[in-house]
Amino acid sequence: MTITENETPSASADETAFGDLLDKVRAEFDAQFTWDYERGRDGLNRLYEKAKRAQWNVSDDLDWSIDVDPERMVRLQQEVTGIPAGFPARSLLDVKGSPVAGWDDDKWVDFAVHSQCASLSQFLHGEQGALLCTARLVEAVPWIEAKYYGSTQVVDEARHVEAFARYLDEKMPTTYPINENLKSLLDAVLTDERWDLVYLGMQVVIEGLALAAFGMMLGTTQEPLLKKMLRYVMADEARHVAFGILSLREIYDDLPADEFRLRQEFAYEACEQMRRRTLNAELWPSFGISNEEIQAALPDREAQRRFQRILFSKIVPNCKKLGLLDHRDGWLRERFQEMNIIEFEDWENTAEALNLEGRVADKEGSDTGDSAGFDPDNLEGVEVIEQPVH
């Protein structure tokens, strides 16, 4: 893959060039009306009330006048966290014959800047995928509470696309194209006509992974604009993951065994695809190193493996909450054991973290205890995830 430079399209960027930037995915699914406007799902009602109160504005609530020097930020981050620039790839430095064996500190700082660009670019493209998936859910889900809540998520996701696109454009040197594995998972989720698989693929797997990745970036970056942006986005994402859990629990309770089995397999395949994604395939070629070369060195590196594993720390407890781990004699549990990520099964699941269960909405559909509105200093669901260093 090649790097896309941030440039304003030139005057010659005509319609054909613009057409190259479009990518269609054909899908057939049922858009569903419901004539049942009763709101009996307390968890979803509560989540909807939270979402309406938690709206923020990219233009007004973030300080875009902050000057960002990506290289200086990488050096500062290295100094404050003690994590060497370019980690975990940097652990390849001491591997004999590794393609990065001759890299000096400046090269690693440059790599770290581009690695940050690559991560933010995947966040950006993933956010657009979430925008499309959630618009789909609003049409396809049969419950009025889920259509209400889903509509707030559509606004949230548009805001996230706007935020990451603006940050990359104004503050970072470059934007990378979408990772192939992420694109093929998004395509699979968007083309499936079963709306619960849109939930499972997007709300549980992709957003669960994003929540962990954002949490890790939040724990390391020293850049104030990015820090604030990540905190705001994470508070929204925690609601989105909870939306998936609350909705899926209801339908999974009644799903026939063979159908449930398909959901287990889908969850596993989506996780496998996302595990391969962390290789950063779009980044290495721009440093003159082929993915084959780096692949040959990476799998044996414990630092890289630990880094990959922690990204699943949100997905595993949420799959457990949905009953996916232990159905069919623990089929998914075994797969997660093979992937070495079962250790996260008892971490807090996202619906519990947002305190969405065991409380009842009042008559108007609003709930008690959440009337404060948007409080930027007290955002629920924002959790720093420590990057494993050794």
Binding residues for Fe ion, rule: CB under 5 A, are 127, 130, 157, 160, 207, 237, 240
Task: Give min distance, CB of 156 to Fe ion, in A.
Answer: 6
Task: Report the chain's C-alpha Rg in angstroms.
Answer: 21
Task: Give min distance, CB of 123 to Fe ion, in A.
Answer: 8
The tokens of 336 are what? Answer: 């997660």
Q: What single-letter amino acid sits at 9? A: P
Place of tokens 């790599």: 111
Select 109 or 234, whichever has its Cβ closest to Fe ion. 234
Task: Give min distance, CB of 100 to Fe ion, in A.
Answer: 33
How far, in Å, CA of 51 to CA of 153, rounded?
A: 8
Are 366 and 49 spatial neighbours (Cβ–Cβ below 8 Å)? yes
Select 198 or 332, whichever has its Cβ closest to Fe ion. 198
Place of tokens 């005057």: 11
Select 83 or 130, whichever has its Cβ closest to Fe ion. 130
Residue 105 CA to its chain's centroid (Å) = 30
Round to the nearest angstrom and report the end-to-end CA distance of the chain.
30
Place of tokens 């509105």: 373
Select 130 or 182, whichever has its Cβ closest to Fe ion. 130
Task: Give min distance, CB of 319 to Fe ion, in A.
Answer: 18
Task: Give min distance, CB of 86 to Fe ion, in A.
Answer: 27
CB-based burial label for 33 (10 Å; 0-12, 13-18, 19+): exposed
Select 157 or 196, whichever has its Cβ closest to Fe ion. 157
Place of tokens 């620039």: 85
Q: What single-letter amino acid sits at 205? A: V
How far, in Å, CA of 20 to CA of 193, rounded?
A: 27
Select 157 or 223, whichever has its Cβ closest to Fe ion. 157
Task: Give min distance, CB of 231 to Fe ion, in A.
Answer: 13
